[in-house]
Amino acid sequence: MPDRVRGREVALSWYRAAPGGGIVRIRTQPRASRTEVAGAHGETLRIRVAAAPVDGAANRALLKFLARRLRLPRSDIEIRAGHAGRVKSVWVRDLDERTAAQALLSEP
């Protein structure tokens, strides 16, 4: 379902509804200069993560970043698939499509 963010129409192919919340498909880019949303990348949302993918540091940094952007407690967000890969499925409690677009595609 397309949505409007800051006057632009966007298709959220990286979001899907799930029981109790929503799933966001994320493609991470570890060891970036800073942690930030880089935009949609096919069926995923690309997020650059400053942490290295060592001992789960990049996953922890990703979850902390998402919690801050979505203004949710860290306990409401969990990686469901892709712990060791770049493409991850992240479940977020009570996340709907509009909130996902506003929080993740708009500037903070």
* Position 20, amino acid: G
Q: Using the 8-state DSSP alphabet, how is residue 9 labeled?
A: E
Averaged in consecutive runs of 10 residues, what is the pLDDT profile of the chain (108 residues)? 48 88 96 94 93 95 96 96 96 93 83
Q: State residue 83 phi and psi, 5-degree precision.
A: -55, -40
If you search the block for the tokens 């959220």, which residue do you land on? 12
The position carrying tokens 């899907």 is 16
Q: What is the pTM of this model?
A: 0.86
Buried b (16+ CB within 10 A) or exposed e, 13-28: ebbeeeeebbbbbbbb
| Inter-residue contact 41 to 104 (CB < 8 Å) | no
